[in-house]
A and B are shown apart, each in its own frame.
Chain A
Amino acid sequence: DAGITQSPRHKVTETGTPVTLRCHQTENHRYMYWYRQDPGHGLRLIHYSYGVKDTDKGEVSDGYSVSRSKTEDFLLTLESATSSQTSVYFCAISESGTGATGELFFGEGSRLTVL
């Protein structure tokens, strides 16, 4: 299995509180992604990174920010959590990026519940 660790794996928080999810990889892959998984929607891309300090928005980026200060770490922050952000969040990595026919390797997921 690819060396991807997500933390925390489970979190319950209240509306309006900040939340940070961490993705740590040991593969030295260039590309990192944050997806959310919701019933009826499949996986939707939130943000992704194509290098240290290089990030871009996905299709559902509102209410989320990201940072990547080191190759191995990609942080997803919810500045003020809302109930609509209750979801399972997956981090993924790719050596070459899917544009170069690379495939994604996924972490185990972080289940976030916002009350």
Chain B
Amino acid sequence: AQSVAQPEDQVNVAEGNPLTVKCTYSVSGNPYLFWYVQYPNRGLQFLLKYITGDNLVKGSYGFEAEFNKSQTSFHLKKPSALVSDSALYFCAVRDGWSTDKLIFGTGTRLQVFP
């Protein structure tokens, strides 16, 4: 079965420092991977996706993610964190090669301190 794991419940980083939110995946076949962000009392918003091609994917709000097939990882990164980046981040994978469903990780809370 397809799955994603987010090993950290919370990540703390100082404003201006680089941030990384980790995600590992387990799929059969080629993975379709996504990152979403949830601000307080809001629905999730799409950040970026990896389907094929370059291993470094750029997305919204200056975020990027690096696909690493050998390590089965898809870590979310940003060179310089902002306080406004504080939110809940979800990694997700498509559930099978022919379905229209996403399987989400348990989420990582990012706290950026001024």
Contact = CB atoms under 8 A, between A and B. Distances in A.
A94 B100 contact: yes
B100 A43 contact: no
Interface of B: 6, 32, 34, 36, 41-46, 49, 51, 90, 94, 97-107
Interface stretch (A12-20, A64-72, A73-81, A106-114): A106-114
A4 B42 CA distance: 12
B51 A101 contact: yes
A92 B36 CA distance: 13
Contact of B43 (A41, A44, A97, A107): A107
Contacts of A50: 100
B51 A42 contact: no
A40 B6 CA distance: 11
Contacts, number: 64
A13 B79 CA distance: 46
Q: Is the interface of B mostly helix, strand, loop or mixed?
A: loop
Given A98-B32, A98-B94, A101-B32, A45 B45 contact: no
B107 to A, nearest CB: 5
A42 B90 contact: yes
17 contacts: A31-B100, A42-B90, A45-B102, A45-B103, A58-B101, A59-B103, A90-B44, A92-B43, A92-B44, A99-B98, A99-B100, A103-B46, A105-B46, A107-B43, A108-B42, A108-B43, A109-B43
Contacts of A99: 94, 97-100
Contacts of B100: 31, 48, 50, 94, 97-100
Given A100-B100, A103-B34, 14 more contacts: A4-B43, A31-B100, A42-B104, A42-B107, A45-B102, A90-B43, A90-B44, A98-B94, A98-B102, A99-B94, A99-B98, A101-B32, A103-B46, A104-B36
